[in-house]
Amino acid sequence: PCVAQEKTETATLIRDDLKRVSPGMRRMLGCNLDHLQDASTYYTLAQGKQLRPSLVLLVSRAVSLLNGINRSVASERYILDCNPALLLDGDVLPSQLRLAQITEMIHVASLLHDDVIDLATHRRGQVSGNIAFGNQQAVFAGDFILARASTAMARLRNTRVTELLATVIADLIRGEFLQLRNVDEKGGDALQASFDYYLEKSYLKTASLISKSCMAAAVLGKAVPSIVQAIGEFGRCLGIAFQLVDDALDFKSTDGDLGKPANADLKLGLATAPVLFAWKQFPELESAVRSNFQSKGAIEQARQYVREADGVRKTEAWAGQFIVKAKGLLSSHIPDSPPLQALLDICDRVITRKK
């Protein structure tokens, strides 16, 4: 098929399941307190990228396809003898659709809290939850979403999946906690340590949810351990690439493109990858990085160094390396099929996205 047909196929593959994600989340957030229900469903009513539920649904399809092949190998039939139509039509289990919803609920809960902490004004093209409902209600709404996500998790009755997702919540908080500083205090080479610290933080605040929700989809689909591991590593690489691109976009985009304020990270005191690359070239940036750009003129100086050091392009190139690794992991573990092509397509879109 031509590229256009493949793209259409990719889009239709999970379209119907994806349509059920937000309404399902809203049902789980039903409550007799109208204000609490309004605040907690607020971000489910705006158009997000739906990256995480899409990945969960596609990994579910890929695993069901693999199981089909394994079953036919077990029954001593040659793979080539199998009816490809049967193999490729692996369904998403109800538990995996629920997992896609739980994953997005954890994400949305973290966004409500994040927007309070970051004093945000906009998110997903509308005013952010802290502005629409105030800090107190936004925090309670995030807590409530986590509570309902936990109930839904318990109902999956799978301790491995519960453990994976509970670990994600701890990771989100650990990532945010690390982000309170730009430089690890361990000593040694401060620049190298800061790159390592940044990668660890990016894993915890972004890649962990992507990685472990994909692993959970594979666990629910009864994938063999080596596949669960490979899918987890794929999610780690894709998630870190996603955060690198996010940090590059903060420097090069406009509010209108992003649906949230651009040029926000330096104002929040954060030294993201573009700044670390600038520091590598201009060692005099170190004190501003250490003091979270609080002194007069520090933000403009950092912006200038990022431009001169080509920090955004270097960050995008680094993201590209993680994407190559993510795609390699997929291609070496999942046979060529519509879900594989759709996952590879998402990898490319993470790099080329504008918001």
Name the residues that contact ligand FPP, by CB under 6 A. Answer: 106, 109-110, 113-114, 117-118, 120, 142, 146, 169, 172-173, 176, 205-206, 260
Q: What angle do CA 6, 8, 9 make, to 5 degrees?
A: 65
Phi-psi sector, 11: left (phi>0), alpha (psi -120 to 50), beta: alpha
Choice between 111 and 231, CB closer to Mg ion: 111
CB of 75 to ligand FPP, least distance (A): 44
333 binds, among ligand FPP, Mg ion, none (CB under 5 to 8 A by kind): none
**The binder of Mg ion chosen from 118, 171, 184, 246 (CB under 5 A):** 118
* One-letter amino acid of 84: P
Q: What angle do CA 94, 99, 105 make, to 5 degrees?
A: 130
Rounded distance between C-alpha atoms, residue 355 and residue 149, angstroms: 27
End-to-end CA distance of the chain: 29
113 binds, among ligand FPP, Mg ion, none (CB under 5 to 8 A by kind): ligand FPP
Choice between 261 and 320, CB closer to Mg ion: 261
Query: With contacts defined by CB under 5 A, how many residues of the chain interact with Mg ion?
Result: 2
Choice between 43 and 279, CB closer to ligand FPP: 43
CB of 119 to Mg ion, least distance (A): 9
CB 168 within 8 A of CB 213: yes
Q: What angle do CA 320, 326, 327 make, to 5 degrees?
A: 90
Choice between 69 and 199, CB closer to ligand FPP: 199
Task: Report residue 139 CA to chain centroid gap.
Answer: 21
According to the binding rule CB under 5 A, does residue 17 interact with Mg ion? no
CB of 118 to Mg ion, least distance (A): 4
Strand segments (E) across the chain: 122-123, 126-127
**The binder of Mg ion chosen from 17, 104, 114, 316 (CB under 5 A):** 114
Please give the structure tokens belonging to residue 310. 């080509």
CB of 124 to Mg ion, least distance (A): 12
Burial of residue 281 (CB within 10 Å: 0-12, 13-18, 19+) is middle
CB of 76 to ligand FPP, least distance (A): 47
Choice between 227 and 244, CB closer to ligand FPP: 244
CB of 355 to Mg ion, least distance (A): 14
Choice between 108 and 215, CB closer to ligand FPP: 108
Rounded distance between C-alpha atoms, residue 141 and residue 108, angstroms: 10
Contact region with Mg ion (CB under 5 A), list: 19-27, 117-125, 180-188, 311-319: 117-125
Rounded distance between C-alpha atoms, residue 136 and residue 258, angstroms: 26
Rounded distance between C-alpha atoms, residue 2 and residue 320, angstroms: 25
146 binds, among ligand FPP, Mg ion, none (CB under 5 to 8 A by kind): ligand FPP
Choice between 204 and 346, CB closer to ligand FPP: 204
CB 55 within 8 A of CB 21: no
245 binds, among Mg ion, ligand FPP, none (CB under 5 to 8 A by kind): none
Binding residues vs Mg ion (CB under 5 A) = 114, 118
